[in-house]
Structure 1
Amino acid sequence: MNSHRAEPEMMFSVSHKTAFVVDHCPYMAESSRQQVECDVLTKSRGQGMIPLAPVSKSLWTCAVECSMEYCRILYDVYPLKKLINYIVSDSEFHILNSWRQEDQSTHELMSALAAVGPPNPQEDPECCSVLHGLVAAVESLCKITEYQHEARTTLMDTADRVANRGRIICLTNAKSDTHVRMLEDCVQETILEQNKMAAGSDRLMPIQQCELVLVHIFPQGEDTLVSDRPKKEVSSLLTSEVHSVRAGRHLATKLNILVQQHFDLASTTITNIPMKEEQHANTSANYDVELLHHRDAHLEFFKSGDLHMAGSTSRDSGLKETVTLKWCTPRTNSVGGSELHYCTGAYRISPTDVNSRPSSCLTNFLLNGRSVLLEQPRKSGSKVISHMLSSHGGEIFLHVLNSTRSTLEDPPSISEGCGGRVTDYRITDFGEFMRENRLTPVPESPDTEATGKPPAERAKAQLERYTRYWPMIISQTTIFNMQAVVPLANLIVKESLSEEDLLTCQKTVYNLVDMERKNDPLPISTVGSRGKGPKRDEQYRIMWNELETLVKTHVAGSERHQRVLDCIVACRSKPPEEEERKKRGRKREDKEDKAEKNINKDSEDKSWQESERLKGAVERGKEEQGESEVIKDSPDSPEPLNKKPRLEEIPLPEKAKGPVSLLTMWTNRITVANSRKHQEFAGRISSVNNKAELYQHLKDENGMDLHENGKATR
């Protein structure tokens, strides 16, 4: 574990404060050119009645409706700590609400907007500008909210953690890209000026980060004069992005996407909702309802990759994505379903189209105390219920149900292993670890006050020391499998060592040195390795490395911890003659292992040939022994037959290396023994047709021929 601590995270993100600036200049009174049909009574209308002509909303109306939907979704999902300051800009700015929590409601904003009224087309456009509202938005972001004030008061020592960041969303009709850059420069200059003023004030805070979102609205059927631009960094304090959107449903979809991006929301579409038709009470149809909620409700989907994404439910180009869940038969009891299921999370929801009949029926159904289970759509397999809709205190929540194995059930036996692979966990050692770190109630005492550290903090510190180095698997450790290391392992985790503890640790190290000198075996795991595992010298090297790692994790505890580490380092270093002896021993072991491997490798392939060759050599040895007995009385015999050559006198071939086979040793012995008994028989050298001619000089001396029967002839 790392001993250093991370820097404290800054409180209050950019989404804490959002300033809406809506352009109220005369050009915003222009028609959006999106037709809205008002005559819906086509069948019941009388014959002489003239149908109503369609109407179109102004750019101002579209901007107000879409911004109100943005605020409604935000207040539904985040009723607290996500604040909006609404500003209208024409010849001057009009702030419709404050940062106070009681002013954060759509009812408050709609009442203020009704008082403002629509733009006046007769007003002088030269006197009107959205710049007034942008300057007021920057000034408003410098004001301290009640949540920021409370945090600064509570954290007096670390008040710098309270950050002042915010976002400005501007809905306007820009003239060109140059006009957009001019608006960005104005916001940048205003931030710098306001930061200078806020530096010496207790009621203001300098802006540390600001996001500017410019939404250019233009009527349908016209070409845009402003190009889209992704988020870019204007300065270290300001980032800016531009969206060019047609008025009407396209603007509504764009703000719906922006609220999801700004507040980390996601979309879920509930499909196959059965609803009775008003015209035909005995029939029902299936409807779909789209809900917005926090993205964490789909966290398990993101982890497993089991997402059922669908296209956008609106009629635009399909920029949105939504997760599809199927309706299940609701329960009839009045008790909330969250008490009947194991939930891992609950998140507030907000309908995308709150005024539609399916959304209204669903919300009324849930507010009446009913709960709805939702399942993942599957083409095959069993049904998986992953979510549930239920209301609490007049608010509707999307509950996340645990669709995998519940932690409340009996866990699988640890001896079975995780996934059937790892089975050698240190179960006994872990039980001992839990016993040593049990928590018990401790009453306050003068000793506790004297130490200055609460018992809970001391317990956490002890747990941290005990887990700095704690292998979980038997095959991954050596020292924790050795009884000789137990005294040192139990003492080294202490916060401070006494002199007696130091002597015990040093004695443990000396015992390990004695074990290495005696070449005692170590409990090294051979899992995943071939053969007998590492060499004895390598085993001790692994043991010393692990022991040094254990002590190094606690060396900052006290000076005596460092002395234990120094003792280990000193005992590990061998004198030169000891290293040379170890090196020779390793070479000898390598040669023996190599010879053993060669013999084992050749024994299977050459066992039959060796046995035949050995049998022939024994027979030849018997024949030569018989010949030696014939000539044992020869005066030229250098030594008697019964004098056997010594084994160390048997010379080996010059090119022979490595192990010597039994056949080679037998052949060399016979060769040396024969060479010492007599010189080579001359008859063998002058033999004809493998037959030696006896008494070659007898005819020359006596003038007689001898037949084979031994009789002489003249």
Structure 2
Amino acid sequence: MDQQRSKTVLILDHSSFFSRPSGVTFNVNVQNNDQQQSQQDQINNENCLGMKSLWTCIVECVLEYCRILFDIFEDDALITLIVTGIDQRDQSSWWNRYKNLSQCMDFFAGIQPPNERPLVNDDDLLKHSLNEAITALCTRSKKQNIPTDSDYINSGHIILFSTFNNKRIETIEKDAKIFHESHNHMALEMNDFVPLAKCDLTLVDVRSIDQPVPTSNPEYRSISSILHRTFYYAQAGQMLFTRMLQMLLKQHYLALTTVTGIPMKEDVASRSSLNYDVDIVHPAEVHHSLRERAPLKYWRQIKDDVETIVLKWSAFSYDPENYYDTYSAYRFSPLDVNSRESACLTNFLLSGKCVLLELGNLPNECAININEYGDENCFNTSDNDLTLTTTTTSTNRLFSHMIISHNQELMIHAIAFGSNNPMSKMGPSYLVTDEKDNISINDLEELMDEIDDDTLEKDLRVESFINIIRTTTLYPVETMTSGKIPIEDSLRLLERHTRRCPLLINETILFNMPAPINLLTSLILREKLSDDDVSKYLMTLKYVDNMERNGESLPVPNNFQYTTKIVTNKAKKIIKYIILGYTKYIWRPLYKNLFIKKCSNDSLWLRLAQYFLFETIDDIILYTIEHGNSKILDLFFSDRIIHLPLLEKYLIDTLLFRKQLSIDIVRTILIYLTMSNNRIEKCFQYVFKRFLQIWSQENFIRFSSNNQHLYICQCISICLSFNQQIQLNNDKDTIIMCVLNGIRLHLESTFDYIRRRGQLIGELIIKYIHLFSSSNQLIFDTYDKNHSEVLMLTKLAEIDQTLNDRQLSDDDDDDEETIMKKEPIVSIIEKPICTTNRIVLHDASIDDDDDDDEFESYDYSHDTIKLDVEKPKYIRTCLADLISTDKIDRLESALNMLPTLIELYKIECEEVALELVRILLNYNSTFNIENFEKLRLNNLIILCENYPLLISDYLCKEFYEKNYTIHQRSLILKIIQETAKKLSQINQIQTKIQDQLFISDDDDDDDNDNDNDSWHSIINKRLKLKTKYKIKNNLKTKKKIFQENNFGNIVGYFYYPLISYIDKKQIYLSLIDGDQDYLLLCELLSCLGRLCIYAQNTLSLNNMIKQLLDLLKSLQQHQNAGVRHAIIYAYACTIVSIGNICYDENLQYYFIKLKQWLDYIIIKDTNTEVQSLAKSVRQILLKTLQHITDN
């Protein structure tokens, strides 16, 4: 089970209602099918041992649910069982308690049947169990405790078996919503909890057979944006089992396959033709490869209200040692494990045999669809079928799956058929052994004609991969050896073998070396070397060293031909120009004058153009997209985007979502994605959903710029113009949730343009893709319908984009320019140092002597010198210059240019922002650069200001990490403090006490002018201002300005990581109990206090102050006077940040206790500076308390 699979909680109602008989009888006879069973039940009841209760039917259903999940997902199946009235005390083992079916059966064995006497508090017990279920979903599983790079989406399912009426359903929905919201709030404060991002509540109303059900269709309802409810009616017996199967397939993305035409062994012996069917359950990904190549409607059937894919048993003899190429392999489980048919199939597979499954009754149109992916001769058919004509589809046999047992585990493989398999996706190898100085197009055409794609399979390193598989294969062992887990050793060995593992023989020289050099590749893979191995290794190295000394070449085999690209002298120049950034000058004439004219009619030229596009730099693809249209893209790319992950990532991810392209280019790409059904299903649907998900994300709405938000809205409008291609089969619920959640978040925004666009896009989506009926269309009347943006977005969604595609662009204006006339990429710095150049010469003939005294000196006052330093123009060039610390001039230039580059390339800089911070933070020298510390600090602050969430999280974590000096940690605090000051714009947020504490005074003593860099002296100067009445009088005339503090949304990322680990004792850092200098602790307390000031007028301020006051209270008795001085300063910051209005009684209590401690410090403290500061803070505190009382 992958990391994203959901948790499942099953709740069983243990009330008296389920002690009633269900109408289902125990029968000791094993029947072949349900029809025979019903006939036997009607004829006689002599074999009936009694009637099952509703409780027994539910337990059997739940055990079947668990069995199938354990068979398919094994230990990764996250299941927990809750029975109302049964106390679940050990909540820490929610997801470790049930790991196999035996544990589940032991759990039910210890529970008595329901009491026939009803209890008064059945609803309360059900409510308590529902609370336990949501607690379990919010509790971390084993995988969630392991930190990973990918974001984990905590989702789950709650299945409740009980009896319901409308009132009870409403109560359960209300309770579930309350429990979910409360637990998500708890998860933000508790490490053991994780917020629940999605929860499906399934209610199953279980009834006896004699009670009819109102409907057989499930009812769906969204309780909130995260919580969804599904309601089923089910009668005990077969209907309950069917409902269980429907829930299982939907919740865990499973599928049902019917293996039909299995011959009975007894029937074969008696020469009869009776066959039987077996249903198996497996992950739905098994049918992905088949779905991509043919419509599943030809083999899809509805069986007992459940969809199944029917595959035919093949009697073709097949050796399991010679596997077909497979796309995927998954475990499967028989649906009815106790039936005779399932037992026969299971025993047959466990005996070491395998079975091929084929697509029965292959229709003509499906055969054509499949043949698009490969030659008919490439079908994985039997030898008998190869003699048949493949045009007669009635005789074709196409194997699509294989079922087999691996290490006593039942597995189903999806077989690769046609040419569309991993082996045939690899491009052809062009072998060039004789390099010429010049090569013409005709020579290239002849070369391509000689290429045989079939030789590719001969070039594959098949034998090497077989050896790797054999080396790393695991076999069952009875006992563990040396306490190691075998899979770990195998994975480690596999990683060593595949660090350098070329696919083709002609792609490597190293693995083609004869003896003794080939010993290097074999010995280096071993974990330990014996003495004999070491001697062989040294002998090989000595042999290579002698070859190098003698100038001998490597002993490459005679039959070896290294795969190279066509490299001539002209080609070398072209590659050089491409590296220097002249890509379009190389590709443009080929694109316009050659490929556009010839590719539409000549497959050879099309193939050559595709080689240029897919084997070279991305700039060529981007140029083609910018200057072409959808028809050109369809011609060059066709459906290769489906089979080439790199091309798919570049077009769909890089261009559409990482580069903000012009809307015309976006339209061209989207039109191309809709020109094929395969592209629509795999690419266009994904792009549309991703646009919707970004549009409905709260962080995107809050932090995106105006242009970024408009770009996403325009892309969605263009997608809506292709509403005929938008399919709502499996994604309707997801799209509805994105739309409704996105509209809500847009309406909550404080910006008019965001609210306007949110309402318009919501209307357009619901209108064009028909999410609801026509009577339930969403209409807003609160925005201007005639606004230019509204008209533009509406027009984009209404027009037929295919008729609006671009014409081929022409850029002939630059044809006359040569490559060498292009402006240099890097400009040269000219530094003026003089004003004029003047040389005055005398006539040498009139001089009596030959000295140079008569010459006037050369005036350099206006000369200019050209420096060799190149100013970086791109962010990655700047990054490279910062790394090269041996070139001081380039380093200084990069430090000066970095702020400008960050402003120019904000999006590109985000990718390397962390790397820039690491480099700047870890400099251990000033490199003799003027104002180096100032430049470094300024760059770090700018990076943190532009990417506050990313950089602040990194800096706060690194502050408590090892391998940092005190100076570096102090620098981190300074960065955080200055960034917070800029983000909060504290100069615009004024309070009365803040003015007293931080306003400057020209009449202050001049003795402190030289102590500008000392924070102690700055604090003393500012605190002295509170005793001067002239400031108080001036404040009366000053107008108060109250402004929203935008820093409040992210202040927690700066504050809480710093204060959380301050008391954590490390070997390399102990702030509170350490014996080192306490200056770092003083600076940290000062930084925390300043962050509280910068968080004024925010909702999180009270909580921040409480945590800081608790910390300061624990440090009040610190022995170091500097720390006590910093504590009092931090107290002053809390007073300033809270202002004159304090509605929190706890904070008022804190301040009263603070006054008592300050009185004690003023009298008892031995340090005069601490006493003086305490007196000043005490005066502010008294005034603050007085103002609070007055207000």
**TM-score under structure 2 normalisation?**
0.34
Q: Say which is worse superposed, 86-95 or 180-189, in terms of deviation.
A: 86-95
Structure 1 residue identity aligned to 2:8? T
Question: Aligned match of 2:361 in 366, 371, 378?
Answer: 378
- Contact preservation (8 Å) 1:81, 1:147: no
> Residue in 2 aligned with 1:246?
235
Change (3 A) 1:184 1:299: same
Identify the match of residue 579 of structure 2 among 487, 493, 501: 493
Q: Following the alignment from structure 1 to structure 2, what is the Cα–Cα distance between the partners of residues 102 and 425?
A: 69
TM superposition shift of 1:88: 0.5
1:235 aligns with 2:224: yes
Change (3 A) 1:146 1:166: same
Relative to structure 1, the CA distance from residue 528 to residue 166 in structure 2 (aligned partners, 3 Å threshold; closer, same or farther) is closer
Displacement after TM superposition at 1:19 (Å): 0.7
1:208 positional shift: 2.6
- Distance in 2, Cα, partners of 1:384 & 1:522: 45
Match of 1:540 among 809, 812, 816: 812
CA contact (8 A) 1:29 1:58 kept: yes
User: Which residue in the other structure is 2:339 paired with?
Assistant: 356
Bigger mean CA offset, 243-252 vs 377-386: 377-386
Greater RCO, CA 8 A, separation 6+: 1
* Superposed counterparts of 1:224-303, under 5 Å: 224=213, 230-277=219-266, 285-303=274-292
2:157 and 2:251 in contact (8 A); partners too: no
Look up the match of 2:307. 321
1:390 Cα deviation after fit:
0.8
Asked if 1:130 is matched to 2:126, the reply is yes
The structure that has the greater radius of gyration is 1
Match 1:388 to one of 395, 402, 406:
402
Which is strand-richer, 1 or 2? 1
* Contact kept? 1:91, 1:132, Cα under 8 Å: no
> How far apart in 1 are the matches of 2:92 and 2:333?
23
**Alpha carbons of 1:168 and 1:100: their partners in 2 closer, same or farther (altered >3 Å)?**
closer
Q: Is the 8 A contact 1:215 1:244 kept in 2?
A: yes
Q: Compared with structure 1, are the counterparts of its residues 410 and 524 closer, same or farther at alpha carbon in structure 2 (3 Å cutoff)?
A: closer
Residue 166, structure 1, aligned to residue 156, structure 2: yes
Alignment-derived partner of residue 887 in structure 2:
none
State the secondary structure of the residue aligned to 1:287.
strand
SS of residue paired to 2:113: coil
Aligned partners of 1:177 and 1:225 also within 8 Å: no
**Residue in 1 aligned with 2:18?**
28
Alignment equivalent of 2:195, drawn from 206, 209, 230: 206
Could you tell me which amino acid in structure 2 is paired with residue 321 of structure 1? E
Letter in 2 for 1:114: A
Q: How many Å apart are 1:260 and its aligned residue? A: 0.9
Matched residues, percent identical?
26
2:171 alignment counterpart:
182
Give runs of aligned pairs for residues 139-158 of structure 1, distance below 5 A.
139-150=135-146, 152=147
Structure 2 CA distance for aligned equivalents of residues 543 and 125 of structure 1: 90
Letter in 2 for 1:370: K
The 3-state SS of whatever aligns with 1:197 is helix
Q: Quote the Cα distance in structure 1 between the aligned partners of 2:116 and 2:222.
A: 36
2:597 pairs with 1:526: yes
Measure, in 2, the Cα distance between the counterparts of 1:248 and 1:488. 75
Q: For each residue in 1:386-408, what CA deviation from the matched residue of structure 2 results, as whole angstroms up to 9, or x when unmatched? A: 21111011101111222212554
Matched, 1:117 2:104: no
Q: Aligned letter for 2:260?
A: T
SS in 1 for 2:345: helix
Q: Distance in 1 between matches of 2:281 and 2:121?
A: 41
Contact 1:276 1:284 in 2 (8 A): no
- Structure 1 distance, partners of 2:210, 2:286, is 40
Equivalent pair of 1:17/1:166 in contact (CA under 8 Å): yes
- Equivalent-residue separation in structure 2 for 1:260 and 1:351 (angstroms): 14
Give the letter for the 2:285 counterpart: D
**Counterparts of 1:87-102 in structure 2 under 5 Å?**
87-90=82-85, 98-101=93-96
Shift of 1:487: 4.8
Q: 1:636: which partner in 2?
A: none
Change (3 A) 1:301 1:118: same
Aligned residue among 285, 288, 301 for 1:311? 301
2:349 maps to amino acid: L
Tell me what 1:501 maps to: none
SS class of match (1:270): strand
- Deviation of 1:23 after TM superposition, in Å, equals 0.7
Paired residue secondary structure (1:236): coil
Aligned equivalents of 2:102 and 2:83: distance in 1? 17
Is the contact made by 2:326 and 2:415 (CA closer than 8 Å) also made in structure 1? yes
1:403 corresponds to which of 407, 417, 426:
417
Q: 2:6 aligns with which of 8, 13, 16?
A: 16
CA distance in 2, matches of 1:74, 1:546: 67
Task: Kindly indicate whether residue 333 of structure 2 is the aligned counterpart of residue 347 of structure 1.
Answer: no
**Residues 66 and 255, structure 1, Cα contact 8 Å, conserved in 2:** yes
For the structure 1 residues 173 and 375, does the alpha-carbon distance in structure 2 shift closer, same or farther, using more than 3 Å as the test? same
1:73–1:221 CA distance, 2 compared to 1 (3 A): same
| Inter-partner Cα distance in structure 1 for 2:427 and 2:45 | 76
Residue 73, structure 1, aligned to residue 345, structure 2: no
CA distance in 2, matches of 1:424, 1:61: 76
Per the alignment, residue 1068 of structure 2 pairs with: none
Tell me how far 1:63 sits from its aligned partner: 1.3
Partner Cα distance (2:248, 2:337) in 1? 16
Give 3-state SS (helix, strand or coil) of 1:302's partner.
Answer: helix
Task: Provide the residue aligned with 2:80 in structure 1.
Answer: 85
Give the C-alpha shift of residue 279 in structure 1. 13
TM-score, normalised to structure 1, is 0.54
| Change in CA separation of 1:426 and 1:74 when aligned onto 2, cut-off 3 Å | farther
Residue 462 (structure 1) aligns with:
none
Identify the structure with the greater helix proportion: 2
Quick one: distance in 2 between partners of 1:208 and 1:172? 26
For residues 385 and 488 of structure 1, do their structure 2 counterparts lie closer, same or farther at Cα, with a shift above 3 Å needed?
closer
Equivalent residues of 2:301, 2:310 under 8 A apart: no
Quickly say closer, same or farther: Cα 1:424–1:94, change in 2 above 3 A: farther
| Partner deviation per Cα, 1:178-229 (whole Å, 9 max, x = no partner) | 2112101111111222233333222222323222111111223324479965
> What residue is the counterpart of 2:631 in the other structure?
none
Cα 1:393–1:424, aligned 2, differ >3 Å: closer, same or farther? Answer: same
- Deviation string 1:84-106 (CA, Å, 9 cap, x unpaired) is 01111137668899444573111
- Counterparts of 1:342 and 1:385, CA distance in 2: 12
| Pair 38,139 (structure 1): closer, same or farther in 2 beyond 3 Å | same
**SS of corresponding position for 2:597:** coil
Q: Kindly tell me: are residues 222 and 95 of structure 1, through their superposed partners in 2, closer, same or farther at Cα, counting changes over 3 Å?
A: farther
CA RMSD, aligned part only? 5.1
Shift of 1:413: 7.1
Q: Which runs of 5+ in 1 are unaligned?
A: 1-10, 43-48, 416-422, 444-479, 498-504, 516-520, 531-536, 560-714
Determine if contact 1:371/1:389 at 8 Å carries over to the other structure: yes
Rounded to whole Å, the distance in 2 between the matches of 1:243 and 1:546 is: 74
Determine if contact 1:93/1:132 at 8 Å carries over to the other structure. no
Q: Cα gap change, 1:204/1:538 in structure 2, threshold over 3 Å: closer, same or farther?
A: closer
Tell me if structure 2 keeps the 8 A contact 1:177–1:226. no
Aligned length: 457
Offset, 1:171? 1.0
1:528 Cα deviation after fit: 8.1
Measured after TM superposition, the shift of residue 137 of structure 1 is: 0.6
Pair 226,198 (structure 1): closer, same or farther in 2 beyond 3 Å: farther
- Rate the CA distance shift 1:125–1:338 in 2: closer, same or farther, 3 A: farther
Residues 345-393 of structure 1 show CA distances to partners (whole Å, capped at 9, x for unaligned) of: 2111111111100000000111011111111112603211221111011
Report the CA distance shift for 1:212/1:408 in structure 2 as closer, same or farther (over 3 A). same
Q: Is the 8 A contact 1:80 1:101 kept in 2?
A: no
